[in-house]
Amino acid sequence: MTENTLNYCTATRMNDTKLGHVQRVREHLQSLENSVSNTDRQRKRKQSDSSSPDSKLKKDSDGTVAQSATGLRNLGNTCFMNAILQSLSNIQVFSCYFKELPSVALRSGKTAGRRMYHTRSQGDSSVSLVEEFRKTLCSLWQGSQTAFSTDALFYVIWKIMPSFRGYQQQDAHEFLRYLLEHLHREMQGSKNGSPSPALSPDRPKHASESKCCINGTSTIVTSVFGGVLQNEVYCLICGTESRKFDPFLDLSLDIPSQFRIKFTKDQEPGPTCTLNDCLQSFTDLEELDETELYMCHKCKTRQKSTKKFWIQKLPKVLCLHLKRFHWTAFLRNKIDTYVEFPMRGLDMKSFLLEPENSLLENCLYDLAAVVVHHGSSIGSGHYTAYGLHERRWYHFNDSTVTLVSEEAVLKAKAYILFYTERSDQESPAKI
């Protein structure tokens, strides 16, 4: 055998070995995939056959049928999205509006007959966030499946929200802000640029409603989540006072510094931080530091000043974000302090600009949903949510949904809290 022939045979054997190894890897991966699929099918079959109230249609004692809960599949670190979607699905005044929207049928081609989303940054009008959001909400609480995949909605989010592309962990609060903003913008116009019938034209308007319309026309987003803050800045040099109104969809609350102290096992724990403490800190008079000097129009220079917030108009749904993450010199740390929050009767009257002009019942809020972050940093960990549905509390952990007690909800270290105005609970579908 010549040297060339020997080399050829050796190379051939090496290639055959590599090909054989690749083939074995492929077969192994295929077997794993089949195993996972079989396990998933068996799990779904068991859940569908189970008499558990979380896995099939169940009858209550009064004979009415309650639809079973549906989880959301994790597409790769998408728990931040799942927690927000499940929370919003349990805000009845909000979710019912979308579920009652007519389906957008494709008449011909890929984009004909669709509501178009207009974005300058992408120049893409072929997707509809409202439509995919509607489909997702309609797929929950149907009892037809144990988990729903949001891949179509996630695709739209990738198209119109570049910062959420990829499969890295994201901040649930940041996602909520982007989602509401983009839903609001899409519902303000249709394909031809005319306003969408987001709100009934004969609906009476609040005197300050125009102030909470972010970027123009009011929509279901601003009607439900929109409130108004009055920001007062007082110059400590000349006494000039400046007032301005700021619309908001949620309030971000600091956890007061006195409650951030970590106690060792040998130390007695300090007082419990309450949601009222966080709200009080948000509305307290604050002296601005050197980096935030106020530009006084009378002094015509930056001066020391104080700042105070008042709530000028409360929303139908009060979304409260507890600021658990803060930047240090090198990384973003998490404040793990437990914050006690009420299940019912959150009284917001003392934080109003003109409390004497507000009815007491319009200032009381009841808890509807809670988003929780598990872990030590914003770039890692896991998000879950609690939601109230038909007077029962559920825990949403991606594909898994379980019934829980009120006590379990109250023990959670909340990141985002959703409260609904008590007077709206009688007629949640009226906007």
Query: Catalytic amino acids?
Result: 79, 382
What is the rounded CA–CA span in Å between residue 288 and residue 307? 7
Residue with tokens 């492929």: 26
Sequence-separated (6 or more) residues with CB below 8 Å from residue 334: 324, 325, 373, 375, 376, 377, 378
| Structural tokens at position 160 | 């119109």
**Number of residues in the chain:** 431
- Is residue 90 within 8 Å of 387, Cβ to Cβ? yes
Q: Find, among 198, 250, 203, 199, the residue nearest to 227 by Cα.
A: 250
Note every long-range contact of 325-330, with CB atoms under 8 Å and residues 24 or more positions apart, other chains counting: 325/171, 325/377, 325/378
Q: Please list the alpha-helical segments (H only) found in 54-149.
A: 79-89, 92-99, 129-139
Q: Find, among 366, 355, 313, 337, the residue nearest to 253 by Cα.
A: 337
Of the CA atoms within 13 Å of residue 157, those in its CB half-sphere come to 23
- Is residue 276 within 8 Å of 265, Cβ to Cβ? no
C-alpha distances out from residue 247 to 215, 223, 313, Å = 10, 12, 9
What is the rounded CA–CA span in Å between residue 316 and residue 93? 9
